[in-house]
Amino acid sequence: MLTTISADRFSGLPDNLAYHIFSFLKLKDITRLSLVSKRFKRLCMSTPFLAFDDTNCRFDEAKRAQMMNYIDRFLFLRKGTHIHRLYIRWYLRKGTIGDEYRVVSWLHNAVLCNVKHIMLDLVVEVESEFTLPTSLLSCASLEALTVRLDDDIFKLPNSISTMSGSIFLKSLTLQSVKLDDNFGISVSTCCKFLKELRLRDIKGVKCIVITSSSLELLAILKPHHLVHLLVCAEMLRSVVVEWRFDSHETRLLHLSTPSLETLLWKGNKVNFSSAGRFDNLAKVGIFLRPYTGVDFITQPQIDTVLQAVCSTKCLALLDINIQDCLQTMFPSLMKLHIEVSAAFDVDLVRNMASLFRVTPNLHHLSIKREFEFRYIDNASDQGKDGEDAGICDAWYAASLPFLHDVTMELIRQDKYELELIKYLFKYAGCLRTIAIFYVPPLKSHFNREVIGCKKASILVQLKFIRCGA
């Protein structure tokens, strides 16, 4: 007769693994688990990962009051036990002072428990201000702070001007908040140890000036009213900017960042300036579109950007940005990624062929459709009148002596894509692999033409790969 023995694997886990499992549980689940045994009660009371979320009792006054009282008692029973991460998602009701008071009191408690990471996600019923407690910013253990305010006004405490050198924060993330134009100066002056600053969906602020000797990463995504962004940071290594707008106001991005290694810039074209070239660059992404409300002549040009980043080893860009690159040499470029936002045409293929002339040391080439891609009818395969053949003629020909690998995603399987493939086969003498991704069906005549075209490299391997396979 077989007997089944149920092994208690959880009780044998070391404390650090048990804490990691607890980090995925809600507070009510941790409370239930604390009733299992004395060890579980100790673990639940000392877990360094806490999450206070009122989503399930937001509109039930009795349950809401019960939960707030329970959190107060829970923190009291912990008796100052260390907190590694505290997450608070709370709804601050109109005309209710008690809600904000409770949240602030929990933050004070976290400071006493030497908290390292705080994540605040506050939903305010009406537009108002939320000011961080002074004790939170002066907490020596706090390394990372994330605040999301649902488009409400974020304020630093008035006493921040006297706290220079006493704020040890290393990472600050603000999302869906309203800032004033003093924000950049306040952060630059008081956060002397800040290494990472992320701003997403910020409103109100028109000018951000950041001067830092410690900042290493800056990400500003989808600012709503920003006009001027000026950054002077000698240790800054990564900059990510996504800046789109729908007004005629002249915008400026200035970077004085000699240690910059990675630059990703998406959105609309703005005026750009820098304090010299970025000689340490390893990766650059330029995905800039002209602002549709301005004619071409008055559009900001990106040639100054390209001249500043010409030493990069890896470049990714939109097809519409290729023509801007043709007057700049990229002597160190080894990896090139091009995103095609529409179908291939004669101008795009010629621009690509011309681009190879300014990238003499190219090793890897990737051509794919843009992420935000719109459907294009495959039925049309007509180009400009009188421009059917020989698109990449001798005038555009450029030797590609170091190109080893090519990845290309077909859009229409038309003559322009075929012409570019033939060009790569003809002039890349060291080509080893060309992988062509396609959406079925693969046109038989296209397949035959690619396989039968003249190849400069006898070692090249051709691969047709079905998308999604």
CATH number at residue 441: 3.80.10
Residues 6+ apart with CB under 8 A from 201: 151, 175, 176, 221, 222, 223, 224
Q: Given 79, 108, 126, which residue is the final one in a domain? A: 126
Residue with tokens 């000018």: 207
Task: Verify that 308 and 323 share a domain, yes or no.
Answer: no
Residues 6+ apart with CB under 8 A from 341: 318, 319, 320, 369, 370, 372, 373
Task: Verify that 104 and 169 share a domain, yes or no.
Answer: no
Per-residue burial over 426-443, b if 16 or more Cβ lie within 10 Å, else e, is bbbbebeebebbbeeeeb
Task: Verify that 274 and 325 share a domain, yes or no.
Answer: no
Q: Given 264, 281, 312, which residue is the final one in a domain? A: 312
The verdict on residue 279 lying in a domain is yes
Task: Verify that 409 and 448 share a domain, yes or no.
Answer: yes
The verdict on residue 156 lying in a domain is no
Q: Check residue 384 and give its pLDDT.
A: 41
Task: Verify that 233 and 173 share a domain, yes or no.
Answer: yes
Note down the domain range covering 109.
Answer: 17-126
Q: Check residue 382 and give its pLDDT.
A: 40
Task: Verify that 177 and 306 share a domain, yes or no.
Answer: yes
Q: Check residue 126 and give its pLDDT.
A: 66
Counting beta carbons within 10 angstroms of the beta carbon of residue 70, is it exposed (0 to 12), middle (13 to 18) or buried (19 or more)? middle
Task: Verify that 179 and 319 share a domain, yes or no.
Answer: no
Give yes or no for a contact between 336 and 307, defined as CB atoms under 8 angstroms apart: no
Measured between its terminal Cα atoms, the distance across the chain in Å is: 49
Please tell me the distance from the alpha carbon of residue 233 to that of residue 228, in angstroms, as a whole number: 16
The verdict on residue 149 lying in a domain is no
Please tell me the distance from the alpha carbon of residue 79 to that of residue 113, in angstroms, as a whole number: 9
| Rounded (10°) angle between helices 346-355 and 415-427 | 20
Task: Verify that 319 and 462 share a domain, yes or no.
Answer: yes
* SS3 track for the chain: CCCCCCCCCCCCCCHHHHHHHHCCCCHHHHHHHCCCCHHHHHHHHHCCEEEEECHHHCCCHHHHHHHHHHHHHHHHHHCCCCCCEEEEEEEECCCCHHHHHHHHHHHHHHHHCCCCEEEEEEEECCCCEEECCHHHHCCCCCCEEEEEEEEEEEECCHHHHHCCCCCCCCEEEEEEEECCCCHHHHHHHHCCCCCEEEEECCECCCEEEEEECCCCEEEEECCCCCCEEEEEECCCCEEEEEECCCCCCCCEEEEECCCCCEEEEEEECCEEEECCCCCCCCEEEEEEECCCCCCHHHCCCCHHHHHHCCCCCEEEEEHHHHHHHCCCCCCCCCEEEEEECCCCCHHHHHHHHHHHHHCCCCCEEEEEECCCCCCCCCCCCCCCCCCCCCCCCCCCCCCCCCCCEEEEECCCCCHHHHHHHHHHHHHCCCCCEEEEEECCCCCHHHHHHHHHCCCCCCCCEEEEEECCC
The verdict on residue 137 lying in a domain is no
Task: Verify that 113 and 95 share a domain, yes or no.
Answer: yes
Q: Check residue 375 and give its pLDDT.
A: 33
Give yes or no for a contact between 221 and 267, defined as CB atoms under 8 angstroms apart: no
Q: Check residue 95 and give its pLDDT.
A: 60
The verdict on residue 322 lying in a domain is yes
Q: Mark residue 80 as left, alpha or beta (left: phi above 0; alpha: psi -120 to 50; beta: remaining).
A: left
Per-residue pLDDT of the chain (469 residues; tens, 9 = 90+): 455 555 566 667 788 888 888 888 888 788 788 788 888 888 888 889 999 998 888 888 888 888 899 899 888 888 888 999 999 998 887 666 678 888 889 999 999 999 999 999 988 776 677 778 888 888 889 999 999 987 777 777 666 655 655 688 999 999 998 888 888 988 888 888 999 999 999 999 999 999 999 999 999 999 999 999 999 999 999 999 999 987 777 899 999 999 999 999 999 988 999 988 898 999 999 999 887 655 544 567 788 899 899 999 999 999 999 988 998 999 999 999 999 988 888 888 889 989 999 999 999 999 998 754 333 333 334 434 344 445 555 445 567 889 999 999 999 899 999 999 999 999 999 999 999 999 999 999 999 999 998 899 889 999 999 987 6
Q: Check residue 141 and give its pLDDT.
A: 92
Q: Among 72, 70, 63, which Cα is nearest to 104's?
A: 72
Q: Check residue 394 and give its pLDDT.
A: 43
Q: Check residue 283 and give its pLDDT.
A: 94
Task: Verify that 94 and 220 share a domain, yes or no.
Answer: no
The verdict on residue 6 lying in a domain is no
Q: Check residue 373 and give its pLDDT.
A: 34
Task: Verify that 65 and 99 share a domain, yes or no.
Answer: yes
- pTM here? 0.84
Q: Given 265, 282, 312, which residue is the final one in a domain? A: 312
Task: Verify that 337 and 469 share a domain, yes or no.
Answer: yes
Q: Check residue 405 and give its pLDDT.
A: 95
Q: How many structural domains compose the chain?
A: 3
